[in-house]
Amino acid sequence: MNRPAGGAWLRVPLVTPRCRGLALGCAVVAGFAISAAPSDAQLRFRREAPSVESNNPGYDGLFQFVRLRFSSGGGGGGGFGGFGGRREPPWAHDYPRAERNFLRILDETTLVGPRVDASNILAVDDPELFKFPIAYIVEVGFWNPTDEEVEALGDYLNKGGFLIIDDFRDQRGEWRNFEFQMRRVLPGSNLVQLDGSHEIFDSFFRIEHPERFVTATYRGLPPLYYGIFEDNDPTKRLMMIANFNNDIAEYWEFSDRGYYPIDLSNDAYKLGVNYIIYSLTH
């Protein structure tokens, strides 16, 4: 593992020179958003109703954010469907503000040069997904894919796709559902817990203790990071990373609202940037 030249380190809470740049980036995001924000105090849990495929920009050679859409009542893992009380489907949490804000930060801090004016929502079995080798999925505790979706996602990951899993916790059997569905997608694979020594936490920012990033909304549940390695070989690439007891997109979504400390928002962005850089290079 080679530490990147000039790489910054994350110590929570700690703001390095690089972090200051990121903080400035957060401020920029805030600046964009505040002008359009109707009422900060009331927005915390008010989600925008997501529109779907019609807004997909389509592949144009640039990096684009892809959020996976799913129905929670599909195939056989059963019993975890539905999402208590919210108006939006579970896969749409934090959409679209989370990715919009994150893409601006990604554009500000790296040379990825993503498309910042739009992002994609794709079904798991949509052939278009294969044109975007990095995908993001949330609330997998309620994910219940069909057999076709399982097969498609398995092909996607085995061909070289990378999946970022976010926003699920050790409650209501969410872990069991996630584990069960991943075994359907990648039979024989092992979910391995990752610590700060893994290079995904050093691909752009140095994040020495990712476990210290505690999500306020999960009321102190210990954040854990799980991955599946290609061929179950830890020397090979990660095919996915799961933020368990964690919800980094929550911070992306509200980084311009002032609900969370700016350092925590920074840390959430750092994790996201690292995931993207890692998956673009590994």
Partner 1 sequence: MPDLFEFLFKYRRLVYEQGDFVFAAPAVVRWWLLAAVAASAVAVASYSLARGKASPMDRTVMATLRVALLGVLLFSLLQPTLQISTVVPQQNFVGILVDDSRSMQLPDASGAARSDFIRATFTPGESELLEAMAERFSLRFFSFSSRARRIEGPGELTFDGTSTDLPAALDVAREELSGVPLSGLVMLTDGADTRGRPVTEALVPLQAAGVPVFTVGLGEEAVSPDIELGRVEMPRAVLEGSSMVVDVVVTQTGFRQTTVPVIVEDDTGILAEEEVTLGRAGEPVVTRVHFQLDRVGSRRVRFRIPTQDGERVTQNNRRDVWVEVRGEREKILYFEGEPRHEVKFLRRAIQDDDNLQVVVLQRTAPSKFLRLNVDDGDELAGGFPRTREELYRYRGLIVGSAEASFFTHDQLQMIADFVSERGGGFMMVGGRQAFSEGGWAGTPVEEILPVRLGPPPAAADRFLAELRPGLTPAGLANAAIQLGGDAEETDSLWRTLPPVTSVNRITEVKPGATTLIEGHAESLDRPQVLLAHQRYGRGKVLALTAQDTWIWQMHADIPLEDQSHETFWRQLLRWMVDGVPEPVVASVEREQVEPGEPVRLTAEIVDSTYIQVNDAQVTARITSPTGAIQEISLDWTVERDGEYTADFVPTETGDYEVEVSAARDGLTVGTDALALHTARSDDEYFGAGRRSRLLQRIAEETGGQYYTPATVGTLPDDISVTGAGVTLVEDRDLWDMPALFILMFLAMGAEWAYRRVRGLV
- Residues that bind partner 1 in the complex, under the rule CB under 8 A: 2, 4-7, 59-61, 63, 109-113, 127-131, 133, 155-156, 158-161, 203-204, 236-237, 276-277, 279-282
Beta strand extents in 42-183 (DSSP E only): 66-69, 120-123, 134-138, 162-168
Smallest distance, partner 1 to C-beta of residue 230, A: 9
> Residue 184 in contact with residue 153, Cβ under 8 Å?
no
Return the number of the residue (121 or 273) whose C-beta is nearest partner 1.
273
Tokens of 87: 């108006």
Smallest distance, partner 1 to C-beta of residue 214, A: 27
Q: Which helix (H) or strand (E) holds 207?
A: strand 205-207
The reply to whether omega before 96 is within 30° of 0 (cis) is yes
Return the number of the residue (88 or 155) whose C-beta is nearest partner 1.
155
Tokens of 223: 């954040």
Smallest distance, partner 1 to C-beta of residue 168, A: 26
Return the number of the residue (9 or 130) whose C-beta is nearest partner 1.
130
Return the number of the residue (71 or 110) whose C-beta is nearest partner 1.
110
Query: What letter would DSSP give residue 40?
Result: G
- Per DSSP, what are the bridge partners of residue 250? none
- Per DSSP, what are the bridge partners of residue 164? 136, 241
Interior/surface letters 41-71, b for 16+ CB within 10 angstroms, e for the rest: eebeeebeebeeeeebeeeeeebbbbbbbbb
Return the number of the residue (160 or 261) whose C-beta is nearest partner 1.
160
Rg (CA), the chain: 18
Tokens of 88: 């939006």
Return the number of the residue (60 or 84) whose C-beta is nearest partner 1.
60
- Per DSSP, what are the bridge partners of residue 76? none
Smallest distance, partner 1 to C-beta of residue 79, A: 30
Smallest distance, partner 1 to C-beta of residue 281, A: 5
Interior/surface letters 253-265, b for 16+ CB within 10 angstroms, e for the rest: bbbbbebbebbbb
> Residue 219 in contact with residue 203, Cβ under 8 Å?
no
Return the number of the residue (214 or 280) whose C-beta is nearest partner 1.
280
